[in-house]
Amino acid sequence: MSVQYVKGVGPKRAAKLKKLNIYTVEDLLYFAPREYDDRTNFKDIADCAHGEKVSLNVQISGYPSKLRPRGNLSILKIPVRDKSGYANLVWFNQNYIASKLSMGDKISVNGKVNIRGNEVQIINPVFEKGKGEKTGRIMPIYPLTERLTNNEMINIVTNAIKDYGHKLPEILPSYLREELNLMPIYESIINIHFPRDKDHYIEARRRLVFEELLTLQLGLFLIKNRTGEINQGISFPYVKEEDKLIDNLPFKLTGAQERVYREVKEDMEKNKQMNRLIQGDVGSGKTIIAILAMFKAWSSGYQSVMMAPTEILAVQHYESISKFFMDYDINCKLLVGSLPNKEKEQLLEDLRLGNIDVLVGTHAVIQENVEFNKLGLAITDEQHRFGVKQRAVLSQKGISPDILVMTATPIPRTLALILYGDLDISIIDELPPGRKEIETYAVGFSMVNRVSEFVKKQVLEGRQAYIVCPLVEESDKLNLKSAEELYISLKDKVYKDFNLGLLHGKMKSSEKDHIMEKFKNGKLDILISTTVIEVGVNVPNANIMVVYNAERFGLAQLHQLRGRVGRGEYQSYCILINGSNSKISRERMRILQKSTDGFYISEKDLELRGPGEFFGTRQHGIPDLKIANLFIDIDILKLAQQKAKEILEEDALLLDEKHFLLRQNIIHMFKDRIEDLIFN
C-alpha cells in the first residue's frame, strides 16, 4: 500500500518520502534510523557532568526569567530541583515555553549538561509531564530529506507501526527463526525504530540484517545457479606441451605467477568445475595465466572464451593471445560489437561448428546468438566491470565449463564473500622484475604550465603521454575540464607542435580503435582521454600519466590509471592535478604519492569515502541494502550464506509453501534484474 495513506502523510509528504526511496508502507516500516538519541541515561542533578547528555526527573522550583543579551537572541531560564540539588533549564530563542510550565510541575527532561561555576544548566531540553513519549527512551534519528524534520518522521513512523505494523508478513520461515532464535518481525520493527533497550535493539537489528542478507544471498546464488554444491566438471589432463609453452615464453614467470598457474592447473585437471578468481595488481601479469589455461583447454580439444569490458582491451588481448599461440594450430578470433555483419555471421557459424578454438571479445560474446561447439573454459577479465548476471550468462554458454575471473581491484573480504562466495581465490602478489617505481606528484592547477613543459620535454625525447580528465562534454554545472574542451585548447595552443589524439566513451568503437592504434604505433604523442583507457591498456613507450581534476576520481581508479604507465623500460611519472582545496582530497592525493600497493590504496579509499561510493555495489549487480552493512555484518553474512545454501539444497527453486514469501522478497529486492534469469 502506498505510504500516502499512513496517517499524517498525504500526497505532499509522500513526494518527499520518495526521495528517501520510501514508496510503500512497508518501505517506511523497514526504513532504519541512521542513529539513535539515547535518553535513558537518568541522573540526579548532583551527579551531572559537564557535556554529557542526561535525562532528569525534576520539579519546577521557581519562576522563569527571560534575558535578551542581543537583539536576535533571547534566553529563557527555568529553575528546577530534585532531591540532590538545583539546576536551570535553559532555552535559546524559545520563550514560548515559559507558558507551558508552571511552578511545582513534575517533569522529566532530556538535554545536554552545561556547568558554569556552581550553576548546572540543561541546554534546550526536551521535556514532558510524567515520562514516556519523549524522555526515558531511545529515540530514532532518521536520514532526512529537505523539509522533513526528524519529529515529523517520528510521528509518521509511529502511526505506521500502530496501524500496520502487526500486518507485516513474516518472511522468514518459522523453522529458521526458531533455529536461529530470531526476533519476530513485528517486534523487530518496533525495536529498530524505538528500541526498548540496547539488547532489544541488537536483536531487532540482527533479525532484520539477517533477513536482508539471506534474501540477497539467496538471490545471488539463484542467479549463479549454484547452491554451493560442486558441479561435475571437465577434467583437462596434463600434456607435455604446457611445459614447453612456458619454457618458450619471452620471460620467466614470477614466483607468484607460477604458484597461481599451478592452482589453476590443478583445478582444471580435476573433474569438478573450476571457479577461481585471480586477484593481482595492475601489471602483475594476469593475462599470461589466462593464456596458459586456454592452451590447456585447447590441448584437450575444448574451446575457450575470454570476455573483456572494453573493445580496446579485447583487441589488445586478442593481439597478444594470437601472438603466443602463433606456433600452434590454434584458431583465435575476435568478436566485438563493431564487427561487420557478414564477418560476424561467418564467425558465429565457425564457432558453432567448432572451427574456432579461442574466442576473445566484449559483451558481444554473451549475446544470445553466440553458440559454442564445446566450451571448456570461460574467462572474465577485469571482473569488477561486470555484474554477477553477465558472469553467469557466460558460463551458461557451455556445460559446466571451468571458470576463471580476473580482477585488478583488490576487494575487501566481506564483499568478496558475497560476490565470489563460491569462488576460490588466487592472488598474484608480486610484480615482474625490473619495473621502475612510478614517480607520483600531486599539484594544483597553478602548476599546469610547468606540467605541460615537462610533458613536452619527455615527448621530445621520444616518449608518449596520457592526459586524462573526468568528463566527455562541457558541463555548465561543474567547473571541470571536459575531454573535448581540453583537447581543443591543448591542440591549438600548448601542444600545437605535437600530435594529439582524443579518446572518449561516446565515440564509436571503430573510431576508438583507430585512435588507440595510432597511439600504440607512436603516430600520436599525447592521448587526451576519459577513463576509457583505465583498464588494461598496454603501451610500454608511454611514460607520463597526467590526470586533470584528480579529486574527481576514486583512489582505486587513479591507481589503475597510473598503472597505464611504467610498463616499459623508461622512468615513468604520474601527475595528479588536484582541483580541490579540501583537506580530504589533499589527503587522498598524499596516499597515492606514498603508496603503490593496490590493496592498501583501496582500503584507504574505503576509509575516506565509505562503502557505498567506493564500490558502487550496483555495478556488481548487488541491490542497495537498507539495513545491513557489508563492512560490519560479516558474521551475519556468513550465517546467511550458510543458511542460503542449506535452503537451496532442500528446495532449489523455493517452491515450497514455507519459502513462498522469501521468494517474493527476492524478486522484490532484485526487481527486474533477476526474475527472467532465476525463476524460469
Q: Is 354 in the site for ligand ADP (CB under 6 A)?
A: no
Instruction: CB nearer to ligand ADP: give 296 or 552.
Output: 296
Look at the alpha carbons of 561, 571, 407, 626 in this order and tell me if their dihedral is positive or negative. Answer: negative
Measured from the CB of residue 569, what is the shortest distance to ligand ADP in angstroms?
A: 12
* CB nearer to ligand ADP: pick between 117 and 434: 434
Of 599 and 660, which has the nearer Cβ to ligand ADP? 599
* Binding region for ligand ADP (CB under 6 A) out of 190-198, 283-291, 521-529, 572-580: 283-291
Q: CB under 5 to 8 A by kind: which of Mg ion, ligand ADP, none does 401 bind?
A: none
Residue 288 interacts with, from ligand ADP, Mg ion, none (CB under 5-8 Å by kind): ligand ADP
**Least distance CB 253 / ligand ADP (angstroms):** 5
| Piece of the chain touching ligand ADP by CB under 6 A; list 223-231, 280-288, 338-346, 605-613 | 280-288
Alpha-carbon separation of residue 542 from 172, 467, 546, 567, 581 (angstroms): 57, 11, 11, 8, 30
The rounded distance, in Å, linking the Cα atoms of 504 and 526 is 14
Query: Least distance (Å) from ligand ADP to the CB of residue 542?
Result: 13
Q: CB-based burial of residue 365 (10 Å sphere; 0-12 exposed, 13-18 middle, 19+ buried)?
A: buried
Contact 324, 304 (CB under 8 A): no
- For 42-93, what is the HEC assignment? ECCHHHCCCCCEEEEEEEECCCCEEEEEECCEEEEEEEEEECCEEEEEEEEC
CA 85 to chain CA centroid, Å, is 53
Task: Give the amino acid at 316.
Answer: Q
Task: For the CB of residue 389, give the shortest distance to ligand ADP in the complex, in Å.
Answer: 24
Enumerate the H helices of 181-286 as residue ranges.
185-193, 198-224, 240-247, 255-269
Q: How many CA atoms lie within 13 A of 577 on its CB side?
A: 19
Q: Which residues pair with 278 in a beta bridge?
A: 406, 426
Hey, what's the torsion of the CAs at 453, 457, 463, 466, to 10 degrees?
0
Measured N-to-C along each axis, helices 198-224 and 634-650 cross at an angle, to the nearest 10 degrees, of 50
Q: What is the pattern of x (binds ligand ADP, CB under 6 A) and - over residues 480-519?
A: ----------------------------------------
Q: How far is the CB of 280 from ligand ADP (least distance, A)?
A: 5
# of chain residues touching Mg ion (CB under 5 A) = 1
254 binds, among ligand ADP, Mg ion, none (CB under 5 to 8 A by kind): ligand ADP
CB of 398 to Mg ion, least distance (A): 23
421 binds, among Mg ion, ligand ADP, none (CB under 5 to 8 A by kind): none
* Of 17, 153, 288, 365, the one binding ligand ADP by CB under 6 A: 288
Nearer to ligand ADP, 188 or 407 (CB): 407
Binding segment for Mg ion among 73-81, 102-110, 207-215, 534-542 (CB under 5 A)? 534-542
Q: Which stretch binds ligand ADP (CB under 6 A): 212-220, 285-293, 584-592, 655-663?
A: 285-293
Q: Tell which one of 87, 122, 268, 408 touches ligand ADP (CB under 6 A).
A: 408
Residue ranges in 300-335 assigned as alpha helix (H): 311-324
Q: Which is nearer to ligand ADP, 307 or 502 (CB)?
A: 307
Order of strands, edge to edge, in the sheet holding 464-468?
Answer: 439-443, 573-577, 542-547, 464-468, 526-529, 500-503
| Beta-strand runs (E) in 284-370 | 303-307, 332-335, 358-361
For Mg ion, the closer CB: 39 or 317: 317
Q: How far is CA 521 from the centre of its chain?
A: 36
Which of the ranges 51-59, 282-290, 335-343, 371-379 carries the binding residues for ligand ADP, by CB under 6 A?
Answer: 282-290
Q: Which residues contact 561 (CB under 8 A, 6 or more apart)?
A: 466, 468, 531, 533, 534, 545, 547, 553, 574
Residue choice 184, 228, 432, 611 for contact with ligand ADP (CB under 6 A)? 432
Burial class (CB in 10 A: 0-12, 13-18, 19+), 337: middle
Least separation in angstroms between residue 285's CB and ligand ADP is: 3
Distance CA 679, CA 388 (A): 16
State the burial class of residue 485 (Cβ atoms within 10 Å of its Cβ: 0-12, 13-18, 19+).
middle
Residue 126 or 425 with smaller CB distance to ligand ADP:
425
Antiparallel, parallel or unpaired: β 106-116 and 119-129: antiparallel
User: Considering only residues 140, 280, 554, 621, which one is a binding residue for ligand ADP as defined by CB under 6 A?
Assistant: 280
Closer residue to Mg ion (CB): 125 or 563? 563
Q: Strand 464-468 relative to strand 402-407: parallel, antiparallel, unpaired?
A: unpaired
Stretch that binds ligand ADP, among 248-256, 264-272, 489-497, 652-660 (CB under 6 A): 248-256
253 binds, among Mg ion, ligand ADP, none (CB under 5 to 8 A by kind): ligand ADP
- Which residues in 517-556 contact ligand ADP (CB under 6 A)? 536, 538
Tell me if 536 contacts Mg ion by CB under 5 A: yes
Q: Which stretch binds Mg ion (CB under 5 A): 415-423, 441-449, 532-540, 565-573?
A: 532-540
Q: What are phi and psi of 143, to 5 degrees?
A: -70, 130
Instruction: Report how many residues bind ligand ADP under the rule CB under 6 A.
Output: 18
Place of cell 526458531: 178
Span 107-146, contacts to ligand ADP by CB under 6 A: none
Decide which of ligand ADP, Mg ion, none touches 284; Cβ closer than 5 to 8 Å per partner kind.
Answer: ligand ADP
Q: Which residues contact 66 (CB under 8 A, 6 or more apart)?
A: 74, 75, 76, 77, 95, 98
Q: Which residue stretch of 29-37, 168-176, 247-255, 602-610 sits at the interface with ligand ADP (rule: CB under 6 A)?
A: 247-255
CB of 516 to ligand ADP, least distance (A): 15
Interface with ligand ADP in residues 548-607 (CB under 6 A): 567
Closer CB to ligand ADP, residue 431 or residue 480? 431
- The full DSSP string for 563-585 is TTSS-SSS--EEEEE-----HHH
Per the listing, cell 592498501 goes with 600
Among 287, 409, 440, 529, interactor with ligand ADP by CB under 6 A: 287
- Nearest-CB residue for Mg ion: 536
Give the whole-angstrom CA distance, residue 559 versus residue 594: 12
Q: What are phi and psi of 625, to 5 degrees?
A: -100, 145
Q: Which of residues 251-270 bind ligand ADP (CB under 6 A)?
A: 251-254, 257
Give the binding site for Mg ion (CB under 5 A).
536
Give the binding site for ligand ADP (CB under 6 A).
251-254, 257, 280, 282-288, 408, 432, 536, 538, 567
